[in-house]
Chains A and B, each alone.
Chain A
Amino acid sequence: MKRCSLYGLTGLILIFVMFVSVPTFGADTLKIGSFLSVTGPASFLGDPELKTLQMYIDDINSKGGIDGKKIEFIHYDTKGKAQEAKKYVNRLIKKDRVDVIIGGTTSGNTLAVIDIVQNAHVPLISLAGSVKIIEPVKKWVFKTPHTDRMAAAKIYEDMKKRGISKVALITGNGGFDKSGRAQCLALAPKYGITIVADEQYGNSDTDMTTQLTKIRATDAQAILNFGFGKAPAIVTRNVRQLGIKLPLYQSHGVASKKFIELAGKAAEGVRLPAAALLVADLLPDSDPQKRVLIDYKTKYEAKYGPVSTFGGHAYDALFITLGAVKRAHSTDRAKIRDEIEKTHGFIGTGGIFNMSPKDHLGLGLDAFKMLEIRNGTWTLVD
């Protein structure tokens, strides 16, 4: 009994100390707020993001903080719901009075809070994919993940190098597929590419030979499949089954070992763009990103297991923020915002960031690496 109450007392004191000590350090802390989808349908994105933020913030605090300031990290889980995202962002701004916000995990969550941060004048760095977050440019909103458009551009660039100008497009009916299809269609003229076939399939379909038979009858020089999950593996196999010899391109949606495993021998020769983090080991030592990627990968994997690009987006957002705070020598929201916008030459896991008043993402096409599957594994093409 006595032991229990002793523990209880210690706990109480600890809580007391925590609550009391924070405000006293108030002026000397940087308050970072975040709202991520750690549980719910997007948990496979939000979970590594939160783990990454916590790991690095603890690490930095144990080394004395940033620019002489300790970081206070306040996090809420939106469970993937836009309504919760709005509620928590309001709380972060009004009650917790954070200096900068990192989140949300999904495009839906981010788009829901843009008006709030714009009106409250709080800098926000989103970890979501949609181009709409930063186009048109919003003064207080930034993001770190690459976009579908960049993946499409990367593919077209590679096609151009190989002298391909007629492309057959085949996509699924999911959100990722549709957005990818729209970007592929929109970008094609810019690269002098004609889309000669635009076929679609359902993501739970079991056979795509029909669509591919139609493609075979066109004069396409390459097939581009923008998809996610098992369907691209079926497409890959069906292409080989029909004896189609055209080069096959996949999107970054299948950039995982699982794809090679599922498609088996049919995957040989398939090309796809992938985030550099997935192929960190393959990069030449001269690649400026290599050290950052290996460091992040080793650190994350030592603590939590296999790394994902999503956690990498959180890494980039955190260090862009910290860089801005360091340059601003202040926790003033407006000053931090200005410095985030001036981020230049920051080497992150997603690529090299060069932000500007016109570009609140700041990634070039080098964010993606073009890969070819050879002998059952990735090979760098460029």
Chain B
Amino acid sequence: MLDQLLQFLISGITVGSIYALVGLGFAIIYNASDVVNFAQGEFVMIGAMSTVFLVGKEVPYPLAILCGVMITILIGFALEKFAIEPAKDASVVTTIIITIGASIFLRGAALLIWGKDIYGLPPFSGDRPISIGPATILPQNLWVIGGTLLSVIAVKFFFDHTLTGKAILACSFNKKAAYLVGINVRKMLLIAYGLSAALGAVAGILIAPITYTSYDAGVMLGLKGFCAAILGGMGSSMGAVAGGLLLGVLETLGAGFISSGYKDAIAFVIILLVLFFRPSGILGTQEADRV
């Protein structure tokens, strides 16, 4: 039982790390503009797919990864510039619907460019399993967990210790006040979209060697990331990370000890319960303390 538990936890934390990264992307855009960006899952897909494409074109792996992230950031910028900004006077709900439209558009574009095929990436450092007591872990799992940890620390540092990060935070508290003290609100929003896109791309690339990718891979990951963000408290980035890890571990424990047929149901029931008793999420508070 105990050795099983260890294996369950390992896979739960790996899966949870990815949910956390996607959830973090949701939280950043929500912070900057109160909008839930449903194209977040598509960032994950585009990051992985463009890297796959570049690797296929014989581009060296590390360079391909870098370009994959860059391409996704550009698409994040484009999304803000051409879809969100023209609708700047629209209500939050309208903007959310625009992001849903954008996600369908991006998925369709990926389908046209790359087709319906499933693609994989080679593991970053071999695929020989590492034994930890009775459980085994793949080197790529460590990359996923480590990559997520680094990204989370970087995001935390960005918001706590850089001027731009603080400026974005300021926009999230009060747009008008931020504008009055000389912050370029539109530019901050652009940066927030770029940052979310980068996080999505990193998540997509880290996980592609384990789970493969295809034009529709972003749908489920986007949904799970959204759940993570809600579970942790929408707008709290550390909450999104905690929510993601919790969701991942709950899913695997549910599948492991209760029934794998009801894996998703178990996770969703717990989310409903959390929302019922703590509508603002586990780490969310009614006011302030965002990011």
How many angstroms from the CA of A234 to the CA of B217 in the assembled complex? 14
Q: Is A229 an interface residue (CB 8 A)?
A: yes
Q: Is B211 an interface residue (CB 8 A)?
A: yes
Closest to A213 in B: B7
Contact check, B263 vs A201: say whether CB atoms are below 8 A apart.
Answer: yes
How many angstroms from the CA of A44 to the CA of B111 in the assembled complex? 14
Q: Is B182 an interface residue (CB 8 A)?
A: no
Contact check, B261 vs A207: say whether CB atoms are below 8 A apart.
Answer: no
Contact check, B211 vs A211: say whether CB atoms are below 8 A apart.
Answer: no
Contact check, B211 vs A210: say whether CB atoms are below 8 A apart.
Answer: no
Q: Is B160 an interface residue (CB 8 A)?
A: no
The answer to whether residues A213 and B256 also contact, given A241-B129, A241-B136 and a CB cut-off of 8 A, is yes
Contact check, A199 vs B260: say whether CB atoms are below 8 A apart.
Answer: yes
What's the minimum C-beta distance from A195 to chain B, rounded to whole angstroms?
Answer: 14
Contact check, B118 vs A262: say whether CB atoms are below 8 A apart.
Answer: yes
What's the minimum C-beta distance from B148 to chain A, rounded to whole angstroms?
Answer: 14
Q: Is B38 an interface residue (CB 8 A)?
A: no
Q: Is A364 an interface residue (CB 8 A)?
A: no
How many angstroms from the CA of A124 to the CA of B194 in the assembled complex? 57
Residues of A near B10 (CB, < 8 A) are 209
Residues facing A in B1-55 (CB within 8 A) are: 4, 7-8, 10-12, 14-15, 18
What's the minimum C-beta distance from A285 to chain B, rounded to whole angstroms?
Answer: 34
How many angstroms from the CA of A123 to the CA of B128 in the assembled complex? 57
Closest to A229 in B: B118
Q: Is B138 an interface residue (CB 8 A)?
A: yes
Closest to A211 in B: B260
Residues of A near B261 (CB, < 8 A) are 200
Contact with A along B125-140 (1 / 0, CB 8 A): 0010100000010100
Contact with B along A219-238 (1 / 0, CB 8 A): 00000000001100110010
What's the minimum C-beta distance from B262 to chain A, rounded to whole angstroms?
Answer: 9
Q: Is B112 an interface residue (CB 8 A)?
A: no
Contact among B136, B219, B256 for A210, CB-based, below 8 A? B256
Contact with A along B217-243 (1 / 0, CB 8 A): 101110000000000000000000000
What's the minimum C-beta distance from A219 to chain B, rounded to whole angstroms?
Answer: 15
Contact check, A207 vs B211: say whether CB atoms are below 8 A apart.
Answer: yes
How many angstroms from the CA of A243 to the CA of B128 in the assembled complex? 10
The answer to whether residues A230 and B7 also contact, given A201-B263, A262-B118 and a CB cut-off of 8 A, is no
The answer to whether residues A243 and B207 also contact, given A207-B11, A213-B7 and a CB cut-off of 8 A, is no
What's the minimum C-beta distance from B244 to chain A, rounded to whole angstroms?
Answer: 13
Closest to B261 in A: A200
Closest to A242 in B: B136
What's the minimum C-beta distance from A379 to chain B, rounded to whole angstroms?
Answer: 23
How many chain A residues sit at the interface, stated as a range, is: 20 to 34
Contact with B along A237-249 (1 / 0, CB 8 A): 1001111000000
Contact check, B256 vs A262: say whether CB atoms are below 8 A apart.
Answer: no
The answer to whether residues A265 and B127 also contact, given A207-B14, A210-B7 and a CB cut-off of 8 A, is yes
Contact with B along A249-276 (1 / 0, CB 8 A): 0000000001001101100000000000
Residues of A near B7 (CB, < 8 A) are 209-210, 213, 242
Q: Is A214 an interface residue (CB 8 A)?
A: yes
Contact with A along B57-83 (1 / 0, CB 8 A): 000000000000000000000000000
Q: Is A217 an interface residue (CB 8 A)?
A: yes
Contact check, B8 vs A204: say whether CB atoms are below 8 A apart.
Answer: no
Contact check, A209 vs B11: say whether CB atoms are below 8 A apart.
Answer: yes
What's the minimum C-beta distance from A136 to chain B, rounded to whole angstroms?
Answer: 30
Residues of A near B14 (CB, < 8 A) are 207
Contact check, A206 vs B15: say whether CB atoms are below 8 A apart.
Answer: yes
Contact with A along B109-149 (1 / 0, CB 8 A): 00000001110100000010100000010100000000000
Interface centre among A44, A213, A230, A242 (most CB of B within 10 A): A213
What's the minimum C-beta distance from A244 to chain B, rounded to whole angstroms?
Answer: 10
What's the minimum C-beta distance from B121 to chain A, rounded to whole angstroms?
Answer: 11
Contact with B along A193-208 (1 / 0, CB 8 A): 0000001111011110
Contact check, B264 vs A210: say whether CB atoms are below 8 A apart.
Answer: no
The answer to whether residues A230 and B11 also contact, given A200-B261, A206-B18, A258-B117 and a CB cut-off of 8 A, is no
Contact with A along B191-221 (1 / 0, CB 8 A): 0000000000000000100111010010111
Contact check, B118 vs A210: say whether CB atoms are below 8 A apart.
Answer: no
Interface centre among B211, B220, B252, B256 (most CB of A within 10 A): B211
Residues of B near A234 (CB, < 8 A) are 210-212
How many angstroms from the CA of A210 to the CA of B136 in the assembled complex? 12
Contact check, B263 vs A202: say whether CB atoms are below 8 A apart.
Answer: yes
Contact among B116, B118, B127, B211 for A206, CB-based, below 8 A? B211
How many angstroms from the CA of A199 to the CA of B252 in the assembled complex? 13
Q: Is B275 an interface residue (CB 8 A)?
A: no
How many angstroms from the CA of A199 to the CA of B260 in the assembled complex? 6
The answer to whether residues A204 and B220 also contact, given A199-B260, A233-B212, A262-B212 and a CB cut-off of 8 A, is yes
Residues of B near A202 (CB, < 8 A) are 220, 263-264
Contact check, A201 vs B260: say whether CB atoms are below 8 A apart.
Answer: yes
How many angstroms from the CA of A261 to the CA of B52 in the assembled complex? 14
- Contacts A/B (CB < 8 Å), 11 sampled: A200-B261, A202-B220, A206-B18, A206-B221, A207-B252, A209-B7, A210-B11, A210-B256, A234-B210, A242-B136, A265-B127
With A206-B210, A206-B211, A207-B14 given, can you name 5 additional A-B contacts, CB distance below 8 Å? A200-B263, A202-B264, A213-B8, A213-B256, A230-B212
Query: Which 8 pairs from chain A and chain B are nearest by CB?
Result: A206-B211, A204-B220, A200-B261, A209-B11, A213-B7, A230-B212, A230-B118, A210-B252
